[in-house]
Amino acid sequence: MDELDGNGAAGLLQEIFGTDMTVTAVRCASCGAVAPIGEAVVYAGGPGTVIRCRSCTSVLVVITQIRGMSCVDMMGIAALPHARSFRCTTMRVSSTRELMSSLRNAWRR
Ligand SMILES: [Zn+2]
């Protein structure tokens, strides 16, 4: 597997979230470190793309793409900015539209 910084996943994240996620700061659920995804460690080239916390190496996000579907597992992220009460849990979605509606529902709570 190739080790990259978070910018190595920029294109993939842009494709899924429709926005530049590398400048988005996230809080690691394991150690509490807050850092932009662009500073995380990305392992690409395996069956999926794994984004790990640079501080504690815990998994933040796993993205797998199977037959054109993107599965995004964000259970390693405790918080995203601009979402006061947002808590990530495991999300498995089959399309960008489904993902965005999951996020919108989570933000509304
Ligand atoms: Zn961490």
The answer to whether 59 and 50 have CB atoms below 8 angstroms apart is yes
pLDDT in tens, 30-45: 999 999 999 999 998 7
Provide the token pair at 109: 């709570």
Amino acid at 78: A
Query: What protein residues have CB closer than 5 angstroms to ion ligand 1?
Result: 28, 30-31, 33, 53, 55-56, 58
The answer to whether 82 and 69 have CB atoms below 8 angstroms apart is no
In sign, the C-alpha dihedral spanning 9, 11, 13, 19 is positive
pLDDT for the residue 81: 59
Distance 67 CA to ligand 1 centre (A): 31
Distance 32 CA to ligand 1 centre (A): 6
**pTM to 2 decimals?**
0.72
